[in-house]
Chains A and B, each alone.
With several copies, the nearest count.
Chain A
Amino acid sequence: MLDKRIKVKKIQDLGAGNHLLRLASPKQAGLTRPGQFLMLKCAQGINDPPLLRRPYSIFDIWRQPKTGHPAGMDILVKNVGGGSARLAGLKPGDAVQVLGPLGRPFEVPVGLGNRIRFACLVGGGVGIAALLLLARKLLEQNTHPVLFYGGRVPDDLVLREPFERLGIETHYTTEDGSMGERGQVTLPLEGFLSRYARAGLRVYACGPWGMMKAAHNLAVRHEVPCEVSLEARMGCALGACLGCTIRAWDEKGEEQFLRVCQEGPVMSSRTVDWETPPI
């Protein structure tokens, strides 16, 4: 993990406050594994507010056209406040201080394809950002990733193309059904689980707390392993401040507090106390 001042290569407005930021940093890109994140300083000067850096999932790795070597990271930024607004306002050529890659990645055991048939990727809103690298990794392991992607309105369903280009099965949902199925993303997921649970499945979810909780409950009901990528406000992202913890259960079923930046962001949904949201 490195702390580097790197350049913005380009920035793309995806609508509905979403922006795709392309960062140039071969070293950090080369170290990245699916589910990891970066900490971005959202102001010019290191001591300018907002003081604390902001965590962002690494959506994709882009590569040198010629060599094919990793050249940098793409991140998805939704403008929700002071820090993200500044990131959304960055211009190509601007420099940002970026720490990472950080955190525990998704688990994709080698040969997973021999054990399970489908991997259900469940994304809500910007949670989608954690799932693309995972989908690729799963394909390498000969499993069939299936994307379940929900938003309130169609505009929330950004960055579908990169998944569709992988040629994987996709299920979209919106509240009013104006795109894909009508309702929560857990609706098609439930159908899928009841149909294929016996075939061997895994669930990987990233999105709003409520959505991940629902996905977890379905996974439990159908006795399917489930990993979630969690969110928490972060101080250091180095495991030092203990500010990013979530309430969880240890082997003995006793309360414990786990650091989203270290033991997470990806955790087995079974360890999480879903009654205590960390934000």
Chain B
Amino acid sequence: MAAKKPPQGGRNQIKSVKTSVEISGVQFKNPVLTASGTFGYGLEFAHLVDLSSLGGIVVKGISMKPIKGNPPPRIYETASGMLNAIGWQNIGAVEFITRKLPALRKYDTRVVVNIVGFDLEEYLEVTRFLNDCPGISALELNISCPNVKKGGFHFNKNPRDAFEVTDKTRKASPRLPLWVKLSPNVTDIREFARACADAGADALSVVNTFVGMAIDTEKRRSRLRFGTGGLSGPAIKPIALRMVWEAAREVKIPVIGVGGIATTSDALEFLIAGARAVQVGTASFYNPAASQDIAEGLERYCRSHSIADVNELVGSLKT
């Protein structure tokens, strides 16, 4: 049961733990954020989670104009995971700023806005708009959503395109830090990490969902009306962790780990692999308090292991 003993062999516990992490000049009170599209606009979880206990909230992907999304069925559960093809349904940037952000700002947590668009111009338009809005700590550029026929996804098919969209968006958001969210559906994530870093990205979120499929053998139809969907949940954790580890060694900018994180120990794996922070996604669906549990769990872990600063964990993997 080595698993339960501290490695340093029971040094005295320490009083206070520094849990805050810095990402592109912005301080997050702890390294636990919620993943875009899995926590709505944050407010949906307000009675079940103390939003102020979170490092930050990455809201559902926002476009300039509202998007209706894909026809149902949109989700299907798979072994330790789920497929989704929501199709970017969102209320649009104006509605978000006027109706959601003010309420969200009442909480003591960081708001990161995930942005989507069907072509480069749409990305730039929503970026320029949000860049001037107070109460936003960073933008997360989603060029990796597999669930729309055209749009963001193809930017993540080749590093040159990823460079271009990052470069242009970077210039369209002079005020706000820009995170780029990478797709795992690539041969070598390092090429994309490097391209986005070179284009001026302030941080990378690794990763989005894996393109998957499930079939109703009786109807001989896809379980999702859209056909394919994005796979998320604990099933993908080992692949996401490997990609975070590769990306973190490839670039100097912070990497934020996403993919199958459901427990404190999952979050620790990502930090040790090199992630500066983590995002909790699918776990919030079946355990609404997962993100808060993990934020608190990380602090407990540091205390019981005499780790004075959570940043000591980042990239501490021995090889």
Contact = CB atoms under 8 A, between A and B. Distances in A.
Interface stretch (A42-50, A87-95, A115-123, A158-166): A42-50
B75 A50 contact: no
Contacts of A257: 68-69, 71-72, 89
A10 B152 CA distance: 51
Main secondary structure of the interface of B (DSSP, over half): loop
B39 A279 contact: no
B89 A245 contact: yes
A51 interface: yes
Contact of B285 (A232, A236, A247): A236
Contacts of B76: 233
Nearest to B80: A49
Contact of B72 (A3, A51, A238, A246): A246
A3 B86 contact: no
A241 B37 contact: yes
B77 interface: yes
A99 interface: yes
B287 A238 contact: no
A241 B3 contact: no
Contacts of A239: 40, 44
Contact size range, A:
35 or more
Contacts of B151: none
A47 B287 contact: yes
A46 B73 contact: no
Interface of A is mostly: loop
Interface string B83-107: 0101001000000000000000000
Interface string B18-42: 0000000000000000000111110
Interface residues of B, number: 41
Contacts of B53: none
A65 interface: no
A248 to B, nearest CB: 10
Contacts of A81: 3
Interface string A64-86: 00000000000000101100000
B144 interface: no
9 contacts: A47-B263, A47-B287, A51-B77, A51-B80, A51-B233, A52-B77, A236-B284, A236-B285, A257-B72
Q: Name the 7 nearest CB pairs between A and B, nearest first.
A: A240-B40, A243-B75, A278-B72, A240-B44, A236-B285, A235-B285, A238-B44
Given A241-B40, A242-B60, A242-B86, 7 more contacts: A46-B286, A53-B285, A235-B84, A245-B89, A257-B68, A278-B72, A279-B72
Interface of A: 1, 3, 41, 46-47, 49-53, 78, 80-81, 99, 232-236, 238-247, 255-257, 276-279
